[in-house]
Chain A
Amino acid sequence: MYWRKIKDKIAAKSMLIGVAFVNSIVFLIALGLLIKSWPILTKKSIFHLLLSSAWHPLKGEFGFYPFIVGTLEVTAIAMILAVPVCLLSAIYLSEYAHHRFRELARVIIDIMAAIPSVIYGLWGVIVVVPFVRALGKALDTPTTGYSLLAGGIILAIMVSPIIISVSLEVLRTVPVQARETALALGTTKWEAIKHVVLRSALHGIFSAIVLGFSRAFGETIAVLMIVGNVPKIPASIFDPAYPLPALLANNYGEMMSIPLYNSALLLSALILLLIVSTFNITAHLALMRIERR
């Protein structure tokens, strides 16, 4: 009899250790990154680091501004392209599509979400880069194709599965009565969606977008392969850019040889972590509000 109770206690204790571990991982990572970036944080002011455009590691100059701008711009392009398309698709799947088609689409979208980013990157090199090159030619702006626009396009494709699937889920949780009530008053299906369903689902859709944004922000490999990687602020969307994650990935090899380099790079990892975590917390809180209702 006692043995069973002891087993239960041991199990509970080990689970608690696991839980404590999980809760501390984020802090451990942040702490580790902070410790490693400390050398450069003491040497230069944080404002200089964030706002200077001079990136010459050999001379000891580390201005992150072009990379931050690059990341923001490529993410913004991705969101502008992805959000309308994804929301419209999610609404169609939720409100107009036959339920068998909806399930099929769900499967396809899940598979899309599972495709590794290298493959997206490779496809980007094969298809998107030439496309942008041709587009540039048509618009009289010569470009190699390896550009902000290409990066934005591939990112838009990569965040679509998550935006669509979260939005779809949220829309499906709006109760049938909501639609019935509006329709019974004589609205068209679209009016019922516009005025009632979307309103009820607003928080969830917001968090879907935020989740998409944070995913786009942190995506490394695919963007790296097609965005050009030139550490200058791009003058147009046809110019190459150099987002923060790409910086980190490209230069890890030189990290240990140049003084302060690894400190700078790990600082960029820390910045990345902080920004993305902020978005994730926002999305989490927004979703929590829905569950509470």
Chain B
Amino acid sequence: MKSRKIEEFVFKVFMIASLVLVLGIFAGIVIVIVLRGASSLNLAMLIQTPEGGYYLGKGGGIANAIVGSLYLAFGALLLSSLFGLPIAFALQKEYLGRRLAHMTRLSLDILWGTPSIVYGAFGFIIMVYLGLRASLLGGIIALAFLMLPIMIRSIEEVIRMTPPELKEISYAMGTTRIETTLTVVLRQALPGIMTGVLLAFGRGIGDAASILFTAGYTDYIPRSLFDPVASLPLAVFFQVATPIPEVQQRAYASALILLVIVLLISLASRLLSHRCSRYIVR
């Protein structure tokens, strides 16, 4: 009798220890990055692009990377939403038969789990084939492939939760599928769509492996889609590798900027999904 209670106690101790470990490490990551990065963060970093000799410790900032990342993420977001939203809607019963829907969901799961470096490699192949060089466009394409399954999965999850009665009521009034989808379903799923979009955006800003081959790197802010583009993750990556301490410090600062952006996006997605929930039926 006692041994049963002891067993429970022992496991509880292990469970709590595990949870503390997980949460503690998370806190540790945020704290370390903030502390290390905050010391070298200044306005110049945010606004200026690197001057000559930046990588040897001279002046400048990483505005090229900040702007570059934003260009990349927004571009990829547009491209993948173009495909993502319709596909997410298409997974409803009215549009696809069971088998096709199952197969599509399987494909999406595979794509969702595909490592971003594979998308980078594929993007590279396409670029070489089309004669492109590493550029903003190349990065956008690779990122769009990466973002697509993430976006579709989030959005689709919420679309699935639309109460079927709601759709029935709409159809009973004589609407076509697309009409119901764009009015009832869209509005009901809006918070989920917002979350999905922001989730994908956050991924796009932070991913390095897919744009390693495809976006290039530069000290300038790109003027056209065919120019190479810098990005925050790669900025961190390249700056950490140098032996010069000032540049390493800048890597920490860049990481902090990236972390702040990602946290803001997370926060925004939660708030937005709350606000958009005003009209939805529970």
Known A111-B263, A111-B266; judge A190-B124 contact (CB<8 A).
Answer: no
Are B237 and A118 closer than 8 Å at their CB atoms? yes
Q: Which of A114, A127, A265, A279 gathers most chain B CB within 10 Å?
A: A114
* CB within 8 Å of B: which A1-18 residues: 4-5, 7-8, 11-12, 14-16, 18
Residues of B close to A114: CB separation below 8 A: 199, 202-203, 206, 262, 265-266
Q: Specify which chain A residues have a CB less than 8 angstroms from the CB of B104 in the assembled complex.
A: 19, 22-23
Which of B5, B11, B29, B32 lies at the interface centre, i.e. has the most chain A CB atoms within 10 A of its CB? B29
Q: Which of A86, A92, A272 has a CB less than 8 Å from the CB of B16?
A: A92
Given known pairs A88-B14, A126-B32, the reply for A119 and B236 (CB within 8 Å) is yes
Asked if B240 is an interface residue, CB under 8 A from chain A, the answer is yes
B33 touches A119 (CB 8 A): yes
Answer yes or no: B111 CB below 8 A from chain A CBs: yes
| A26:B110 contact, CB within 8 angstroms | yes
Within 8 A of A (CB), among B250-278: 251-252, 255, 258-259, 262-263, 265-266, 270
Determine the main DSSP class of B at the interface with A: helix
* A32-B100 Cα distance, complex, nearest whole Å: 24
B106's partner among A14, A84, A284 (CB-CB below 8 A) is A284
Q: Which of B89, B107, B116 has the most CB of A within 10 A?
A: B107
Q: Mark B88-122, 1 if CB is under 8 A from A, else 0.
A: 01100001100010011111111111111111011
The yes or no answer to A179 lying at the interface (CB within 8 A) is: no
A89, A119, A190, A248 — most chain B CB neighbours (10 Å):
A119
Selected A-B contacts with CB under 8 Å, 15 pairs: A5-B176, A25-B145, A36-B125, A88-B15, A89-B18, A92-B19, A118-B237, A118-B258, A119-B258, A127-B32, A191-B4, A266-B125, A273-B114, A280-B112, A281-B106
Given contacts A12-B178, A15-B87, A115-B259, 17 further A-B contacts (CB under 8 A): A84-B18, A88-B17, A89-B15, A119-B255, A123-B28, A123-B33, A190-B7, A190-B11, A190-B12, A211-B113, A220-B116, A221-B237, A252-B124, A276-B113, A280-B114, A281-B109, A283-B113
